[in-house]
């Protein structure tokens, strides 16, 4: 008997941990896997060399984006690389109607969706002809609050049914064709890292003032990080400078001058960007970044910058509030939900009672009775709420009591588990009561088993 109880109690310790792991509420996490399409807009039939170049850019960008996010995010940019001739409505021209000044995304995307499904988060457009417009990013849809942007959904303007998030313009595909460094692909990919980052960055706080009166002061007069924000030892794709500083030895600092061509592996989004993207671990929210006052940020390199202050993600949250996806339902809360069971050993069945109902998540909820240590099919009840609904759970006498819990899953996939309290009765005079699976139940279970052996 002692040997049997010893084995059972050892198992009960594992059971406690199993139950503890179950009593949690889970909600949808930030998106980490993205898909990007590439379009080569042409003046006629696509040049096979240029099209191959776009495919290479797409392939390298996929790897570079994952690397820049420390592999916390991925971008499948090779799923669709297409080309088609630019029609008149796809081009924006000056008043004379002779000079191309930009592109019109709406007809371009209409043509793209004619042969591609609406499953792309981003689409990047390049041309085989010079366009004076600078590389750019167009936010089509934003559902994130707390990143310095208003929420918006302009997907219908571009033929998407709510899926498309952003559009990049990457410019002339042959812009760097004769670059002496022979690093043409990297020179096309780095701006793409920058423009894609503008889906989330850099809109928080106020522009840098250097006098302590502005909020955060981590950006320039536009949507880029302030040039004095240090990102050493990495290169920040979202900064207008390289983001690296070294001391002069006299209390001032200078920007580190790097070669014009840098390995893509050096480009890393900083903690602020990763937070705005929704993938930064909370343990890094307090990590401080130094900001140097560089004076006129347009005059690079900076030779006599002075230390200004440090800033962290927590400082962003203090100004902007928490980062929240407005499309995600409220987290499932089971605070008012309880579960109890009256187990009749003589009749070999358990009668369960539920009271209250959860809040949050998306209806309907699915309730299932489960047990950590015993299989047995769960009893599923498809109701939004209930009180006093009985169920029958046949697990064989009293051993089905411990580790029993009520599992709740909402339509949007959030789930939570509530441990069930239990009262055990038997045909003999001896009765044992379990208030909760967490209450010193090991001795109680031992007593139940001992009683069961006496009954036998």
Task: Please tell me the distance from the alpha carbon of residue 416 to that of residue 282, in angstroms, as a whole number.
Answer: 22
Length of the chain measured in residues: 456
Residue 27 has pLDDT above 60, yes or no: no
Give the number of domains in the chain. Answer: 3
CA 192 to chain CA centroid, Å, is 20
Q: Are residues 164 and 59 in the same domain?
A: yes
Choose the final residue of a domain: 289, 308, 327.
327
Residue 451 has pLDDT above 70, yes or no: no
**For 305-345, how does the pLDDT look when each residue is reduced to its tens digit (9 = 90+)?**
999 999 999 999 999 999 988 887 777 888 888 887 666 55
Task: Please tell me the distance from the alpha carbon of residue 171 to that of residue 189, in angstroms, as a whole number.
Answer: 11
DSSP assignment of 48-60 equals HHHHHHHHHHHHH
**For 390-401, how does the pLDDT look when each residue is reduced to its tens digit (9 = 90+)?**
454 444 333 345
Q: So what's the pLDDT on residue 426?
A: 52
Choose the final residue of a domain: 271, 294, 327.
327
Q: Are residues 277 and 261 in the same domain?
A: yes
Task: Please tell me the distance from the alpha carbon of residue 308 to that of residue 295, in angstroms, as a whole number.
Answer: 11
Of residues 412 and 377, the one with the higher pLDDT is 412
Task: Please tell me the distance from the alpha carbon of residue 447 to that of residue 441, in angstroms, as a whole number.
Answer: 10
Q: Are residues 164 and 52 in the same domain?
A: yes
Residue 250 has pLDDT above 70, yes or no: yes
Percentage of the chain modeled with pLDDT above 90: 49
**For 82-126, how does the pLDDT look when each residue is reduced to its tens digit (9 = 90+)?**
999 999 999 999 888 888 999 999 999 999 999 999 999 999 999
Q: Kindly report the CA angle at 66 between 63 and 68, in degrees rounded to 5?
A: 105
Q: Are residues 212 and 281 in the same domain?
A: yes
Contact 73, 30 (CB under 8 A): no
The angle that helices 48-68 and 184-197 make with each other, rounded to 10 degrees, is 50
Terminal CA-CA length for the chain: 14
Residue 434 has pLDDT above 80, yes or no: no
Greatest mean pLDDT among 275-284, 297-306, 399-408 lies in 275-284
Domain holding 155, by residue range, is: 33-197
Q: Are residues 265 and 358 in the same domain?
A: no
């Amino acid at each position: 008997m002692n040997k049997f109880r010893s084995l059972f109690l050892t198992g009960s310790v594992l059971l406690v941990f199993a139950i503890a792991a179950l009593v949690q509420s889970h909600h949808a996490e930030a998106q980490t896997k993205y898909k990007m399409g590439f379009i080569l807009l042409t003046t006629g039939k696509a040049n096979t060399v240029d099209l191959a170049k776009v495919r290479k850019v797409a392939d390298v960008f996929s790897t570079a984006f994952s690397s820049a996010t420390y592999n916390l995010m991925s971008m499948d940019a090779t799923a669709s690389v297409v080309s088609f001739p630019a029609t008149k409505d796809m081009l924006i021209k000056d008043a004379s109607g002779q000079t191309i000044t930009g592109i019109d995304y709406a007809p371009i995307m209409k043509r793209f969706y004619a042969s591609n499904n609406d499953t792309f988060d981003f689409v990047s457009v390049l041309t085989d002809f010079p366009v004076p417009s600078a590389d750019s990013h167009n936010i089509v849809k934003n559902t994130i609050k707390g990143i310095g942007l208003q929420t918006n959904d302009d997907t219908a303007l571009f033929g998407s049914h709510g899926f498309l998030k952003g559009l990049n313009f990457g410019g002339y595909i042959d812009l760097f064709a004769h670059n002496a460094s022979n690093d043409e692909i990297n020179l096309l990919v780095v701006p793409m890292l920058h423009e894609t980052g503008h889906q989330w960055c850099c809109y928080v706080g106020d522009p840098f003032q250097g006098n302590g009166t502005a909020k955060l002061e981590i950006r320039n007069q536009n949507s880029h990080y302030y040039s004095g924000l240090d990102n050493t030892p990495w290169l920040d794709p979202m900064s207008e400078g390289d983001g690296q500083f070294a001391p002069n030895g006299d209390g001032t600092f200078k920007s580190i001058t790097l070669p014009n061509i840098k390995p893509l592996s050096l480009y890393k989004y900083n903690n602020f960007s990763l937070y705005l993207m929704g993938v930064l671990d909370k343990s890094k929210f307090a990590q401080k970044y130094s900001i140097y006052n560089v004076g006129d940020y347009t005059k690079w390199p900076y030779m006599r910058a002075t230390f200004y202050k440090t800033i962290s993600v927590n400082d962003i949250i203090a100004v902007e509030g928490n980062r929240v996806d407005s499309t995600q339902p409220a987290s499932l809360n089971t605070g008012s939900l309880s579960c109890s069971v009256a187990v009749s050993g003589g009749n070999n069945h358990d009668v369960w009672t539920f009271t209250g109902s959860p809040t949050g998540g998306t209806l309907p909820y699915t309730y299932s009775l489960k047990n950590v240590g015993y299989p047995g099919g769960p009893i599923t009840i498809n109701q939004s709420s209930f009180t006093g609904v009985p169920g029958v759970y046949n697990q064989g006498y009293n051993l089905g009591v411990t580790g029993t819990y009520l599992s709740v899953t909402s339509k949007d996939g959030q789930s939570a588990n509530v441990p069930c309290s239990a009262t055990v009765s038997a045909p003999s005079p001896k009765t044992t009561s379990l208030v909760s699976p967490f209450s010193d139940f090991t001795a109680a279970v031992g007593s139940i088993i001992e009683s069961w052996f006496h009954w036998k």
